[in-house]
Structure 1
Amino acid sequence: MAKLPWTRLDIQHFVTLMHVARCGSFTEAAAQLGYTQSAVSQQISRLESLVGHLVVNRSAGGKTVTLTPAGRVLLQHAETLTGTLQRIAIDVDALSRGAAGILRVGCYESVGAKLLPSVLTSFHQEYPKVQVALTELPDDGDLLHRVESNDLDLTFVVFPLTAGPFESQPLLEDPYVLVVASDSPLAESTLPIDLDDHPDLPLMSYAELRPPHSMEARLGRPAYRSRVVFRSNQNTTLLGLAGQGYAAAVIPQLGLDPRRQDVHARKLASVNPRIIGIAWHQNRELSEAASAFIRTARAVASQLSFPV
């Protein structure tokens, strides 16, 4: 038995069959399709030739038609095929609008731990067909470079930004705090702590950050560099060492873990908070999904508070 020439079947054969089955007439099917009656008849005859079976029973004069058993089987597949094509059209349209595909986002640890989970949850409820591909680096300067080179669509940042072709929006203020062991005398303080009043207190903070983000720059005290005994870009490492009394950690409040009982965080006097934002390339049009991600990030950030 010769193999059925499936590759020669055309989707239009199935579309025509569906209209013929629905109308029960070549004439009415032709009217709906915008074809001549002879064209519809030729489509059905071609389909029958390819599958090797009659698919319709023609009445005398061809005014009415009904499906044969083979026609009914083909009709089921026709409905599946056309449904698939409709979904493809919807997905391609969504992709062209940015409502499907991959959205490339950059972030760093504290945002990834505290802000990003809620943003992703809300975002995927609205855009379930968009996959967020995450790039995590400790320094937002490296992330901004990837936005500029088109390796990222968006990135979370800390203001001020590096010079470059960027647009941005602020999201929230993130105060700096002093983290000490829970049994430290400083843990009992209820007032903001001025580090100048504790010149012998060893300090820890982040490493490998852009100069404006260094602890010394944020506190406006370049001399504090000599007091830093340990640096890490992992908040868990800094909190663990602070809990052991190794040194006090100066970190943004977003880096805290409220579940830890071995540390206490205290406000720092006369230290401006860092401003967390989100940035993108100013010369590239934002996709629908990218705009929605920014909108979602702003909504989530507006609900985030930082009691100390």
Structure 2
Amino acid sequence: MADFDLRHLTTMLAIAEEGTFSRAANRLGYTQSSVSQHIAALERTLGGAVFDRPGGPRPVRITPVGAVVLEHGRAVLAQAEALGQAVDRFKAGEGRVDVGTLQSVSHAILPTVLRLLREEHPRCDIRLSEPDEPRLGELDLLFYDGLISDETERVLLMEDPYLLVAPPGDLPEGPVSARKLDGKPMVAWPSSCDQPRLERSLADAGARPRIVFRSAGSETILSMVRAGMGLAVLPWLAIHQVVCRDCGAIHGPEGWPDLRVHDLDPTPARAIYLHWPPGRGDESPLAARTIEVAVEVARELAQQAPTARS
């Protein structure tokens, strides 16, 4: 069966449905001799005849072995057609891509990326996860606030500055020197992702805040600040959608105080990268397009971010 050819199956199916070699040739756009050659090659491969040929205009009759070949051949041709369609969709960017992300990227960057991709490729299959460890594993792409390995390809999407969030009246209006955070109670993210580097940056600036509570949820942190637990230093991406554009405050629920947002001097910032395995952007059109769209969306967001202070 090493010389089995799908074209021969297609020809056999056409003959079975049309009844004669000549009508099958007209349907397929072949000469009758080509049709005969296809069937002869198929019969050599199988070691037996697939049609009884009565001759003349009378219809051919399928043989018992031909009936077996035809039954399974229809399924093989259907699978081949499905395979071709799947490859065509993949080349058109309508395959599957597995993306790892982190909370603030999921909140601020990914929704726009997903909307644009689905507008271009409505049948694309995008799978999202927030992995516990910063590694690609089986992922096609990974958003992460930092570098994870020299073995990955990556693009820097944006520098995301940290901002100080405080209850009203707790600090003077305007930028705040990082040194003023020294000894202050602070609500913070867990010691994962970029948080240790942020705390080292504050220490280098002369500030060692007293961490009173840690939470992975930015909304939880803001609630604790409203409750008077302490200050918070959060990246712009995590809070920019809740900051009022008119007054620069974060409005609280009814009865709760609005929070004030201050620039820090100097301004710590985290680097948001998109990582992928070597060659994946070339192998998968959907992954390549996801990278392009993420770069475009992040560039527009970065233009809205506060300017860092050194």
**TM-score class, shorter:** 0.5 to 0.7
Structure 1 residues 288 and 26: alpha-carbon distance in aligned structure 2, compared to 1, 3 A threshold = closer
Q: Does 2:201 match 1:184?
A: no
Q: What is the number of equivalent residue pairs in this alignment?
A: 263
Aligned ranges for residues 139-288 of structure 1 at < 5 Å? 142-143=133-134, 146-147=135-136, 150-159=137-146, 161-181=147-167, 183-186=168-171, 189=173, 191-199=174-182, 201-210=184-193, 213-221=196-204, 224-256=207-239, 257-258=241-242, 260-262=250-252, 263-282=259-278, 286-288=283-285
Deviation at residue 264 of structure 1 after TM alignment: 2.6
* Inter-partner Cα distance in structure 1 for 2:196 and 2:183: 23
Please report the TM-score for the alignment, with normalisation by the length of structure 1: 0.68
* Inter-partner Cα distance in structure 2 for 1:232 and 1:205: 6
Percent sequence identity over aligned pairs: 25
Deviation at residue 108 of structure 1 after TM alignment: 0.8
Deviation at residue 243 of structure 1 after TM alignment: 2.1
* 5+ residue gaps, structure 1: 1-9, 49-60, 65-80
What SS does the aligned partner of 2:122 have?
A: coil
Aligned to 1:57: none
What SS does the aligned partner of 1:165 have?
A: coil
Structure 1 residues 286 and 169: alpha-carbon distance in aligned structure 2, compared to 1, 3 A threshold = farther
Aligned ranges for residues 1-308 of structure 1 at < 5 Å? 12-16=11-15, 20=18, 25=23, 28-29=26-27, 30-31=30-31, 34-36=34-36, 62=57, 86-95=81-90, 97=91, 99-137=93-131, 142-143=133-134, 146-147=135-136, 150-159=137-146, 161-181=147-167, 183-186=168-171, 189=173, 191-199=174-182, 201-210=184-193, 213-221=196-204, 224-256=207-239, 257-258=241-242, 260-262=250-252, 263-282=259-278, 286-304=283-301, 305-306=303-304
Structure 1 residues 303 and 16: alpha-carbon distance in aligned structure 2, compared to 1, 3 A threshold = farther
Structure 1 residues 238 and 129: alpha-carbon distance in aligned structure 2, compared to 1, 3 A threshold = same
Q: Considering only aligned residues, what root-mean-square deviation do their CA atoms show, in Å?
A: 4.1
Verify the 8 A CA contact 2:98 2:139 in the aligned structure 1.
yes
Verify the 8 A CA contact 1:172 1:276 in the aligned structure 2.
yes
Deviation at residue 207 of structure 1 after TM alignment: 1.2
Structure 1 residues 89 and 216: alpha-carbon distance in aligned structure 2, compared to 1, 3 A threshold = same
* 5+ residue gaps, structure 2: 1-8, 44-49, 60-75, 244-249, 253-258
